[in-house]
Chain A
């Protein structure tokens, strides 16, 4: 039986935790009601990272976000890594655990990026098998995040929303909806982000991500957006987000800023902007 009772982030803004913000957050977190950590950064044996996390967990619900499980990988899940995740989730007892629809490991090499996969019946089965294992080992329901994608695959047979919906139906997992990723992938793959969101099973969404991206051009001169987590959320993404909240109700919403991390006030201001969208429907 999967214990879903702990899988509950508050329907408020959260931020991706960065150690340089520790003092500011402990003094006054402003609109921020919960924090997200990257699981792999807290797998060390001890020291300041572990100590800070223990302090933060006394004050805030914590979301553990894995970036290295390679759920979309062709090979089997790394059982040692899965056990490290279990150890972290067991002592921290986070409010949520999430991972990505992506792969990052091949043949023993870890590539440290979220790599895309074609959407086919075969990849669907493989991803579902991996999610079943994760949920069984962790003893909790996980959320699966939609990716930012830059290329198309000639093998792909299903659209992403159908693929994610099937995964959720087969495994019972929830979904993490990254609205910036929808905007990035929609632009890059030439589909309408609003239509994607209108087809998305919003009742399965346990968390929303918002982040910034870079803009480039591809070989044909078409717009190519690159997920950077290194800038403010752009206005078109805020508009899509407002649409999601109006349609699906208030949800835990993360401001994701991992590169060129700003001073706390700017991050708190982004969180306040999310709060302004959430408050009227909360």
Chain B
């Protein structure tokens, strides 16, 4: 028996049962082989359901299950860690025509994926409040920040935070606006927080290692920097203030 043929037949429902596989009496055993096919599809579908709860709520259980099977046949896992499976789903959704009318779905999947990454990210030590005193000084433009490994930034031209809140916390009906979201994990539970206008661009620059001064220049007018820093510090996302 070749494991290559066995593996291919698991992911291709139209492939014949590989030669050399029978029931205990030597008879053909398609239904027995299909137990393995079903196990593969159902266990990977469960992994995707756990990873993309908001996408699943938006499209419904039945559609999600059917969609998951199409995805997993095209993109079986490459890692044995199921906590990583599905990182290709957001990009795949961009070209999955049955959801073409749900333009926001790929970004919602990115938010789900970022929440999961945050959940499993490394822990980081909490800085004492005194560590932030330099941020109260007059010359903070040259300072830069380091961040907790659990911080994730999701920038979207869709109202992804409102969509998340409407599906998980009975938030109001989302309005058609662009939203940037930062995921903070003060202890163990990641939380998506809506960033103020300009906050996404500034945070992106800060994450790239730019100074506070350069980062704010990137974002243009109107950003409340104190509010952004307050949000990040209270979410225990800032792990260092660097010269």
Residues on A facing B (Cβ under 8 Å): 40-41, 43-51, 67-69, 73-74, 78, 81, 103-113, 115, 117-118, 150-155, 188-190, 216-220, 222, 224, 226
Contact = CB atoms under 8 A, between A and B. Distances in A.
Interface string B42-78: 0110010000000000000000000000000000111
Nearest to A191: B24
A44 to B, nearest CB: 3
B120 interface: yes
A217 B21 CA distance: 17
11 contacts: A45-B149, A46-B149, A47-B123, A68-B81, A109-B77, A110-B76, A118-B20, A151-B29, A153-B21, A216-B31, A224-B31
Q: What are the 5 tightest A-B residue pairs by CB atom distance, in nearest-first order?
A: A68-B80, A44-B120, A48-B188, A45-B122, A106-B7
A150 B35 contact: yes
B23 A152 contact: yes
B43 A107 contact: no
Contacts of A104: 80
B22 A47 contact: no
Given A40-B81, A46-B123, A113 B39 contact: yes
A153 B40 contact: no
A151 B32 contact: yes
A44 B79 CA distance: 12
B29 A47 contact: no
B97 interface: no
Contacts of B185: 47
Interface in B98-121: 119-121
Contacts of A224: 31-32, 35
B83 interface: yes
B211 to A, nearest CB: 28
A44 B80 contact: no
B82 interface: yes
Interface residues of B, number: 47
Given A110-B80, A111-B40, 7 more contacts: A43-B81, A43-B83, A45-B121, A110-B76, A112-B44, A153-B1, A190-B24
B36 interface: yes
A85 B6 CA distance: 27
Given A106-B4, A150-B35, A112 B23 contact: no
B191 to A, nearest CB: 13
A109 B3 contact: no
B10 to A, nearest CB: 6
A155 to B, nearest CB: 6
Contact of A118 (B1, B31, B39, B81): B1
Contacts of B123: 46-47, 50-51
B27 A219 contact: yes
A41 B83 contact: yes
Interface string B111-151: 00000000111110000000000000000000000000110
A151 B39 CA distance: 14
B20 A154 contact: yes
A110 B77 contact: yes
B79 A222 contact: no
B112 to A, nearest CB: 16
B30 interface: yes
Nearest to B119: A47
A154 B10 contact: no
Contact of A218 (B26, B32, B80, B188): B32
